[in-house]
Structure 1
Amino acid sequence: MAQDRVEAVERALTVLEAFDSPQEHFTLADLAQATGFYKSTLLRLLGSLERHDYVQRGADGRWRLGSSPSRLARRHAPSRQLATCIQPLLDRLTAETGETAALLEVQPGIAECRLVALPAADLRHDLRPGQRWEIATPEDPRPSLPGGTMECHLLEGDPHAPSLWLTLSGPASRLSPQRARHALDSAVARLHKSKEATP
């Protein structure tokens, strides 16, 4: 009802809705045009949203979504089902190889770590859920890893949904691309076998 409206919350949600667009980065002028708010009002709202990581401001001054919306989205049932299916696979992959196994979600221009299993080794690729990085092409979601290597395997899924990639990464001196690809192929084969066995 109208009396339940909190104006500041309504405005902040209006700002967040402006990011529901194929456009990845927004200038203050872009957001002012999309929301109809004055730039001074926008800066106050964006400041609060930034403190809670709902939005992030780049070095160029442009704005994009932060990691909090994705973190909350992972609480939905489909994501929990995904974790139930994939996390044991990642845990086994890490136990067998001693390297970092992860599930990446790829959207235009961005890759995000959704699930991860970390080895006990001190020297490792220290990847965390919610960690994001820019990518040049959706066919190669790997981040820059000086001294490290990452191999990826695209998982079959809904062509209209963000693509999911199973990855194995670690120090280049310890993890060869051939060994990583072999381990990923075996893991994907196990995943397919488990899906076929599920009624």
Structure 2
Amino acid sequence: MRQGRHRVVKSEDQKDYVQSLERGLSVILAFSDHHPQLTLSEVAELTGLSRPTVRRLLLTLEQLGYVRCEARQFSLTPHVLALGYAYLSSLNLTEVAQPFMEEVTKQTGHTCSLSALDGHDAVFLARVPAKQVMRTTLTTGTRLPAFATSMGRVLLAGLPEHQLEEVLAGIMLTPLTAHTVTELACLRKILDDVRCRGWEIVDQQFEEGVRSLSAPVRDAGGRVIAALSMSVPARAYAMEQIEEELLPVIAENAGEISKRLGARLERR
């Protein structure tokens, strides 16, 4: 038998090794972004398995719902995501994020936070404090209005359109400072912009004298499940300075957390 690129060579003492399972997985792994659709012959060539073996495996995988066949072209179905779900769902988001949050704080000298959306609020899941403490004391579990905070806007912008409409329908756009956006049409435009660029900076809309910045954390399905954020004194950082010096650190580490959760990110 030819040696395929996904084939694993077992040693003599691996008596419990199930070769049919190895072959089935090698067939699944033959599909990729470069080869989303394959014929039986192409799968055989990529895996190094014989055509009769590949045929049996593909027909079995088709019956189980992992592949589909159209016009003699085989392709994976979304059901294959179930194979990795148990692993991904067992990952604790805060545990995955912790070292990257520590890196953000180390590089910037400012507290880094991780938050998730709950109704109309952004809720802190974890925080890595800096030596320099902001005037407002925020802890894990603290809830902030999503519409007026950078992390909240990143989370709102990540919602599917129908869910966003439901949330916006119930939000009270209360002025919290002289800078707070209180017009729904304006907020919608802001969220559209956040969705396009992939980050947000808020200038004193939640608290006078405080500017904040956030970037999204995505799961394996590409959904925004959290926001990585930071707040800094407005007197210490101009908006341009935040975008040039701090935002790249937040965005890079949010992206790294997303990758650990299985997300495939496109360059912006």
Q: Report the TM-score when normalising by structure 1.
A: 0.49
Q: Report the TM-score when normalising by structure 2.
A: 0.38
